[in-house]
């Protein structure tokens, strides 16, 4: 997300999580309370029982009742009506794995009781579709507000996609653009121009998301560290430092070399701080967007000189509603991103792929289906992209990328995460 104090250029996605902590269970907890509490969870999700009758105060302090209600709506929207508890299998004192049956999926995950027999932890992190299909998923995608594109396919150039919707349309992709920076850096390393262990001084700044904006100026860091921060936690300062080192023109050349179908829509290649500044001073941003690429290049170089990498010299955007997402962003189609991931998959040096794998953004139970999972996502209000590079057990490379743009309202990451799990379950 592009985040200042609110969402922005990082997307860290995780399973549907209902509690961050699971207190230790009381030793004499037995199966019958587990079954009763699992039935209670179902009753809460159905709206038949108050959450306070089933979940512990500690749990509800972290996950208020309205969030549970939102989760219940999200699950029924994705998977149809809740039909009941499928099973609750004890896994230890006060602990169980529960399965909840919906019309179109089984939702599974661990549940933990506290010493009072209340639900203190619940993590629904596996969704096994029932009678799902690419056609049903495509219909659910089409029903979302705004515009959605999905491309799930082998990476081989002429391969038939498993599911493709608006796969050639240009979407704002948020922080997923950082994969172009990673690929350009990897190409320079492969050419002997750079090395992953090269040490540089941190001398630029952007706005959060990230950590390195708070590090001391001049801190020594390796290019590998900057790249890992950029991809794993979508660190904007690390990204802008790498763009400065690799070169704006080199990143643009990587975008073109990957076969991007509409490079002029994204070029000149903006840093995160520049995009923040153009969105914060929207009149300036709109004037920039209205000109051609050559004039944009002149304007952005002047702007870069003016702000000199200092976040205090820009007007900071609020990022509460979609802001010029059709003109001030980084753009790519599903097939464009396939071209980029193909180049990353073909690298002899595995370092870039290892960096992508730090945050795989796939629930633990699903990771065993793949020999490799790499991920990068991006978002801001009205913009969401989730992109995976995957290798199956037979060695075939695949891409799953989903983009959702809505200039009228923010979009919901949980909805797209659940759709992604359904897609990854397709044969």
pLDDT reported for residue 366: 86
pLDDT reported for residue 342: 98
Residue 273, phi then psi, degrees to nearest 5: -65, -40
More confident residue, 203 or 16: 203
Task: Give CA–CA dist 332/386, Å, rounded.
Answer: 12
Least confident of 119-133, 174-188, 197-211, 243-257: 119-133
In this structure, whether the domain defined by 16-124 belongs to CATH 3.10.450 is answered with yes
pLDDT band at 363 (very low <50, low <70, confident <90, very high): confident
- Using alpha carbons, list the distances in angstroms from residue 373 to 166, 279, 289, 366: 24, 33, 36, 10
Task: Give CA–CA dist 242/344, Å, rounded.
Answer: 17
Class of domain 134-424: alpha beta
pLDDT band at 380 (very low <50, low <70, confident <90, very high): very high
More confident residue, 2 or 328: 328
Instruction: Assess whether pLDDT exceeds 90 at residue 360.
Output: yes
Task: Give CA–CA dist 145/165, Å, rounded.
Answer: 15
- Per-residue model confidence as pLDDT tens digits over 70-119: 999 999 988 999 999 999 999 999 999 999 999 999 999 999 999 999 99
- Helix/strand/coil for 104: coil
Task: Give CA–CA dist 350/357, Å, rounded.
Answer: 11
Which tokens is 303 given?
Answer: 């702007």
pLDDT band at 32 (very low <50, low <70, confident <90, very high): confident
State the distance between the two ends of the chain, measured CA to CA, in whole angstroms: 31
Domain ranges of the chain: 16-124, 134-424
Q: Do 16-124 and 134-424 show the same overall fold?
A: no
Task: Give CA–CA dist 79/137, Å, rounded.
Answer: 11
Contact 405, 147 (CB under 8 A): yes
H-helix or E-strand containing 309? none
Average pLDDT of the segment spanning 35-48: 96
Average pLDDT of the segment spanning 159-167: 95
Instruction: Assess whether pLDDT exceeds 70 at residue 28.
Output: no
pTM of the shown model:
0.84
Average pLDDT of the segment spanning 192-214: 97
Cis peptide before 390 (omega within 30 of 0): no
């Amino acid at each position: 997300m592009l985040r200042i104090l609110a969402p922005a250029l990082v997307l860290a996605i995780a399973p549907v999580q209902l509690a961050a902590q699971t207190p230790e269970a009381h030793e004499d907890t037995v199966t019958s309370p587990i079954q009763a509490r699992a039935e209670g969870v179902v009753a809460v999700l159905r709206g038949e029982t108050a959450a306070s009758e089933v979940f512990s105060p500690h749990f509800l302090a972290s996950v208020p009742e309205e969030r549970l209600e939102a989760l219940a709506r999200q699950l029924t929207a994705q998977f149809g009506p809740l039909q009941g508890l499928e099973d609750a299998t004890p896994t230890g004192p006060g602990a169980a794995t529960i399965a909840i049956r919906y019309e179109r999926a089984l939702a599974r995950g661990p549940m933990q009781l506290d010493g009072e027999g209340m639900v203190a932890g619940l993590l629904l992190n596996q969704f096994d579709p029932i009678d799902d299909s690419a056609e049903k998923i495509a219909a659910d995608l089409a029903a979302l507000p705004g515009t959605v594109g999905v491309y799930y396919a082998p990476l081989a150039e002429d391969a038939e996609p498993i599911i493709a919707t608006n796969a050639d349309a240009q979407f704002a992709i948020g922080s997923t653009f950082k994969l172009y920076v990673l690929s350009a850096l990897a190409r320079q390393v492969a050419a002997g121009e750079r090395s992953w262990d090269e040490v540089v001084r941190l001398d630029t700044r952007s706005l959060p998301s990230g950590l390195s904006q708070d590090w001391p100026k001049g801190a020594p860091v390796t290019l590998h560290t900057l790249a890992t921060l950029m991809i794993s936690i979508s660190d904007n300062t690390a990204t802008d430092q790498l763009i400065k080192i690799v070169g704006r023109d080199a990143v643009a050349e990587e975008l073109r070399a990957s076969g991007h179908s509409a490079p002029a829509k994204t070029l000149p290649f903006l840093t995160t701080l520049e995009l923040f500044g153009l969105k914060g001073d929207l009149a300036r941003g709109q004037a920039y967007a209205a000109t051609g690429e050559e004039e944009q290049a002149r304007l952005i170089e002047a702007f870069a000189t003016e702000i000199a990498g200092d976040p205090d010299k820009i007007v900071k955007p609020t990022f509460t509603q979609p802001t010029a997402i059709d003109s001030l962003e980084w753009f790519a189609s599903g097939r464009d991103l396939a071209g980029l991931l193909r180049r990353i998959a073909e690298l002899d040096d595995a370092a870039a792929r290892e960096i992508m794998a730090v945050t795989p953004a796939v629930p633990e139970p699903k990771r065993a289906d793949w020999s490799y999972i790499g991920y990068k996502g991006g978002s801001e209000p009205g913009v969401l992209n989730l992109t995976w590079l995957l290798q199956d057990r037979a060695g075939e490379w695949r891409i799953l990328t989903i983009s959702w743009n809505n200039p009228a309202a923010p979009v919901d990451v949980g909805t797209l995460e659940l759709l992604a799990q359904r897609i990854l379950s397709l044969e």
